[in-house]
């Protein structure tokens, strides 16, 4: 194969594709990517055997069709450090030549037959959804998924499809985020039996896909124990997570009798400032709500304390409750409207943040 690339476009594609590649693996071939030139397009493929991606590079000129497998870290480093606008890549059976205006690199390739297959999008979509809407749902949930839980289901995001509505839920046991997204088309095929849990890594990867144009649509289909998503220049495939996701409806409080309407940006700033005096011992900030006001305070032994006051819409009884400030900040960063609702019960019950009818967040209290 032989092709000329816009270096910036190739660097962007390589950065996305190589994010799938594991940093450590006994299989050296998994630290490589496959580059396929066909027609007037070049496709990059990578996989860690659980998540795979095929991505078409923009702004490319193919001189000779073909394919090669080469170490991902080497080609990414060469392209990233380059200063040329155009990079030429030429592959033979044994090596890959990378040329710029004043540079020439030789990279030894790998056996193409050893590279594991990366699924494409074959067949009809089970349903479709706008990329920007799906990415908004991802951003409103993925931060709440567990990072490394032995309860594997918590490492993913639950998908529940009903009619033309997709509900996404994530939890790590201390907080829970739910986002409701409208579908472009209702379900046409049969969804997998049981609950659909998509790995957080897959969702994070999809969130990084750039929109080809306004209104870019994601086609979704299920095959065996996999989800396959096609959107513009990318096809992402992933195994689904096995395990039992908690019955999240049981976690959502139904009896909270205190409601405050609060400025999103105002509280984000206040919590961040109050958190400056939080340490590993205290770990929390205290919310003190009274008629029309909210005070966020923190104290660190032998360090000092902080107190930030702000006006809110609240007319209920006075209440004090502690929260992990990082958990509150995570939620506020994904709320777009200028205000949101904070629902509270007793001080030992979870707090609930609501933004419109599509975003809900539950967070357990702490003792600051």
Q: 90 is in which domain, residue-wise?
A: 2-114
What is the domain-level CATH number for residue 338? 3.10.150.10
Residue 292 maps to a domain: yes
pLDDT tens column, 12-26: 999 999 999 998 888
Domain shared by 242 and 293, yes or no: no
User: How many angstroms separate the CA atoms of 156 and 246, rounded?
Assistant: 12
pLDDT tens column, 247-272: 999 999 998 999 999 999 999 999 99
Domain shared by 235 and 273, yes or no: no
The last residue of one of the domains, among 248, 279, 301, is 248
pLDDT tens column, 177-213: 999 999 999 898 788 877 899 999 999 999 999 877 7
Residue 121 maps to a domain: no
Domain shared by 341 and 320, yes or no: yes
pLDDT tens column, 343-364: 999 999 999 999 999 999 999 9
Domain shared by 106 and 145, yes or no: no
Domain shared by 234 and 137, yes or no: yes
Residue 122 maps to a domain: no
Residue 359 maps to a domain: yes
Domain shared by 240 and 259, yes or no: no
| Mean pLDDT value of segment 276-292 | 89
Q: How confident is the model at residue 172 (pLDDT cuts 50, 70, 90)?
A: very high
| Mean pLDDT value of segment 103-112 | 94
Domain shared by 139 and 238, yes or no: yes
Residue 42 maps to a domain: yes
In this structure, are strands 41-47 and 32-38 parallel, antiparallel, or unpaired?
A: antiparallel
Give the total number of structural domains in the chain. Answer: 3
pLDDT at 221 over 80: yes
Domain shared by 260 and 322, yes or no: yes
3-state secondary structure of 360: strand
Residue 120 maps to a domain: no
Residue 368 maps to a domain: no
Q: What percent of the chain has pLDDT over 70?
A: 99
Residue 210 maps to a domain: yes
Q: In this structure, what token pair is assigned to residue 205?
A: 């990867």
Residue 69, phi then psi, degrees to nearest 5: -120, 125
Strand partners, 36: 43, 67
Domain shared by 226 and 317, yes or no: no
Q: Exposed/middle/buried for 265, CB within 10 Å: 0-12, 13-18, 19+?
A: exposed
Domain shared by 213 and 190, yes or no: yes
The last residue of one of the domains, among 60, 93, 114, is 114
The last residue of one of the domains, among 248, 281, 296, is 248
* Placement of tokens 């991902």 in the chain: 72
pLDDT of residue 147: 87
> Taking the model in full, what pTM does it have?
0.92
pLDDT of residue 149: 63
DSSP class of residue 81 equals: H
Residues 138 and 207: beta-carbon distance below 8 Å: yes
């Amino acid at each position: 194969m032989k092709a000329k690339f816009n270096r910036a476009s190739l660097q962007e594609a390589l950065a996305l594709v190589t994010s799938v590649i594991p940093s450590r693996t006994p299989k050296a071939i998994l630290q490589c990517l496959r580059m396929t030139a066909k027609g007037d397009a070049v496709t990059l493929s990578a996989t860690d055997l659980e998540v795979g991606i095929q991505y078409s590079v923009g702004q490319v000129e193919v001189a000779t069709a073909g394919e090669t497998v080469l170490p991902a870290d080497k080609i990414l480093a060469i392209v990233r450090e380059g200063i040329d606008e155009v990079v030429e890549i030429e592959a033979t059976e044994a090596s890959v030549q990378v040329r710029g205006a004043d540079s020439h690199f030789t990279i030894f390739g790998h056996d193409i037959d050893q590279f594991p297959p990366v699924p494409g999008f074959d067949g009809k979509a089970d349903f479709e959804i706008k990329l920007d809407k799906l990415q908004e749902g991802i951003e409103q949930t993925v931060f709440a998924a567990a990072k490394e839980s032995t309860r594997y289901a918590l490492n993913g995001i639950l998908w529940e499809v009903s009619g033309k509505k997709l509900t996404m839920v994530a939890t790590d046991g201390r907080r829970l985020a739910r986002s409701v997204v409208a579908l472009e088309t209702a379900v046409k095929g049969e969804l997998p039996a049981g609950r659909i849990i998509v790995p957080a890594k897959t969702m994070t990867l999809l969130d990084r896909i750039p929109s080809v144009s306004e209104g870019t649509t994601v086609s979704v289909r299920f095959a065996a124990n996999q989800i396959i998503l096609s959107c513009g220049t990318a096809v992402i495939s992933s195994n689904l997570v096995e395990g039992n996701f908690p019955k999240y409806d049981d976690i959502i409080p139904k009896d909270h009798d205190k409601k405050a309407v609060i400025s999103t940006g105002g509280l984000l700033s206040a919590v961040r400032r109050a958190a400056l005096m939080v340490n590993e011992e205290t770990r929390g900030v205290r919310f003190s709500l009274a008629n029309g006001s909210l005070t966020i305070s923190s104290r660190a032994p032998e360090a000092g304390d902080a107190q930030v006051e702000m006006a809110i819409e609240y007319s209920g009884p006075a209440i004090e409750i502690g929260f992990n400030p990082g958990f509150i900040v995570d939620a506020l960063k994904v709320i777009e409207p200028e205000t949101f609702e904070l629902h509270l019960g007793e001080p030992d019950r979870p707090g609930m943040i609501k933004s419109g009818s599509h975003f809900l967040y539950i967070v357990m209290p702490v003792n600051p």
